Chain A
Amino acid sequence: MAVLLLAEITDGALSLDATAKAVAAVAPLGEVTVLAAGARAADAAAEAARIEGVAKVLLAEDAIYGHRLAEPVAALMAALAADYDHVVAPATTDAKNVMPRVAALLDVMVLSDVSGIVDADTFERPIYAGNAIQTVKSKDAKKVATIRTTSFDAAGTGGNAPVETIPAGEDPGLSSWVEDHVAASDRPELTSAGRVVSGGRGIGSKEDFAMIEKLADKLGAAVGASRAAVDSGYAPNDWQVGQTGKVVAPELYVAVGISGAIQHLAGMKDSKVIVAINKDEDAPIFQVADYGLVADLFTAVPELTEKL
């Protein structure tokens, strides 16, 4: 059995954590070939070649792959798919954009957000915001899947796979990139961080959200937010944790001023240790918290930041 895996590459840089976790997840299925596509992707390809379990890296460098537009990337993957039984990618927003398109081009169903692999045809995935886990057996000849990275450990990086350059595929010319709005940050990346501090509507303003950032910096943590905090403009959209935001599973998750709606829990309940600070002792977040503190966050958070 052979697996084609789309590496997560942004502006030429490999997301090693997401890619290595996806590699570890699918390695039991067969020989893994990684596809590194981008306007610049040679460095990312070289880095991916070091992931243990990778047999080969295909490098497709062309301006059409520069901004991860779905149509050219999906066309390339579908064209390569003939040689593989499984076509997979880590379940990032880029892959969720591309992989269902690949699946439809191949006339197969997509397996979204796979959290467990039972055998070559059988997969587990969360449904209903993680309130149920479904085991499904695919009847399709080829499996196209995105892998939920928080469910797997990352493969090591002692490998040394060959990198083969391949020609770019066709450009359907349907869409073009206009601009990116990406805030640079020195903090750890949210989905791979060992610690996450998240703030909710209880924080009350963008200014006060700085309190959450301070606590995060003290802990060396990434910053997350509830949907309500993002909708209210306290935090940017890419900080949202939950069913429709990012899924995280750090060693430590601190939820401040977050009630614990199922849609939020869907994105963080697999965290190793959960700490919740909320003034409402009946808040549902306390049902999943290992350590709960019923307190006003405006006094508790600065005190905690100071005493840590």
Chain B
Amino acid sequence: MKVLVPVKRVIDYNVKVRVKSDGSGVDLANVKMSMNPFDEIAVEEAIRLKEAGTASEVVAVSIGVKQAQETLRTALAMGADRAILVVAAEDVHQDIEPLAVAKILAKIAEEEQPGLVLCGKQAIDNDMNATGQMLSALLGWAQATFASKVEIAEGNAKVTREVDGGLQTIQVKMPAIVSVDLRLNEPRYASLPNIMKAKKKPLEEKSAADYGVDVTPRLEVVKTTEPEARQAGIVVKSVDELVETLKEKGIV
């Protein structure tokens, strides 16, 4: 079974985000970019499936600017076998929407015929939480989102999902799309020899046009603003003062 893992290049989760003064978006020039944290977990899970003999090949895919090949090299260094880069944007500030990403991934899935697509639950830049669900709709495949445990047996995946009420376990027919949550695993770091080896692994470059997908955004960004900042508060010196203040203000 082949496993397809879509990985997105996003602002590093430690970077303090700055909204551009012209309100056009968030400043991404010269900031540290990394693989979306959820996608590292997806890559890790795919590699573990391969190590367990369940998966035969792990293919990483990224859609976006040319620089996303760095993200793919990271996936290869972690242990993915090969990578596909779909160049769909020139400017790092142009985000490709989940619907267009899902359409490109659907085309790739038709070509590659994976048994499983492991994607992240959410990209930490646009916070959409949509691509996996959209991809499964387009392919007519089963979906299991927000996975914290995945077991594969006899053409089915048994997936435990993190939901509002706690945990839900479902069984999905394969091929399926599984979107991974933070507690599924702890991703490995790529070792130096593996980083070197990754440079020689195949990375195929394509364009959105190769798949006949129009990536024009459906959502036009009117403006981007900073959220309202909270007023600075006060520091109380003791529990007594805290209780007194909260009572005085009618909070408790």
Determine if A108 is an interface residue (Cβ-Cβ < 8 Å).
yes
Report the nearest B residue to A69, measured CB to CB.
B170
A122-149 interface (Cβ within 8 A of B): 122, 125-140
Chain B interface main SS type: mixed
Partner of A109, one of B19, B98, B162: B98
Whole-angstrom distance from the CB of B231 to the nearest CB of chain A?
8
- Contact across chains for A70 and B168 when beta carbons are under 8 A apart: no
Q: Give the one of A111, A133, A236, A269 with max B CB within 10 A.
A: A133
Q: Decide if A92 touches B164 in the complex (CB within 8 Å).
A: yes
Bound form: Cα–Cα A104–B128 in Å: 13
Q: Are A109 and B240 in contact (CB under 8 A)?
A: no
Most buried by A among B164, B171, B218, B233: B164
Q: Judge whether A50 is part of the interface by a CB distance below 8 angstroms.
A: no
What's the tally of chain B residues with a CB closer than 8 Å to chain A?
82
* Assembly CA distance A203 to B127 (angstroms): 29
B residues 218-236 touching A (CB-CB < 8 Å):
218-227, 230-236
Q: Which residue of A lies closest to B249 (CB)?
A: A273
Distance (whole angstroms) from the CB of A30 to the closest CB of chain B: 20
Q: Would you call A103 and B130 a contact (CB within 8 A)? A: yes
Of the 9-residue stretches A19-27, A34-42, A154-162, A284-292, which lies at the interface with chain B? A284-292
**A175, B173: Cβ atoms under 8 Å?**
yes
CB neighbours of A80 from chain B (8 A): none
Shortest CB-to-CB span from A153 to chain B, Å, is 18
Residues of A within 8 A of B125 (CB): 127-128
Say whether chain A's binding surface is mostly helix, strand, loop, or mixed.
Answer: mixed
Mark out the residues of chain B between 173 and 218 whose CB falls within 8 Å of any chain A CB in the assembled complex: 173, 176, 181-183, 217-218
- Within 8 Å of chain A (Cβ to Cβ): is B74? no
**A257-272 toward B: CB 8 Å interface, digit per residue (1/0)?**
0000011000001000
Tell me the bound Cα distance from A183 to B227 in angstroms.
Answer: 35
- For the complex, what is the distance from the CA of A33 to the CA of B188, rounded to whole Å? 48
Q: How far is the CA of A263 from the CA of B182 in the complex (A)?
A: 13
Does A251 contact B127, Cβ atoms closer than 8 Å?
A: no
Chain A residues with a Cβ under 8 A of chain B? 10, 67, 69-71, 74, 92-94, 96-105, 107-113, 122, 125-140, 172-183, 191, 219, 227, 230-231, 236-238, 243-244, 246, 251-252, 262-263, 269, 273-275, 281, 286-295, 300, 303-304, 307-308
B residues sitting closer than 8 Å to A (CB atoms) are 11, 13, 16-17, 19, 25-26, 97-99, 102, 121-122, 124-138, 140-146, 148, 158, 161-173, 176, 181-183, 217-227, 230-236, 238-240, 242-243, 245-246, 249, 251-252
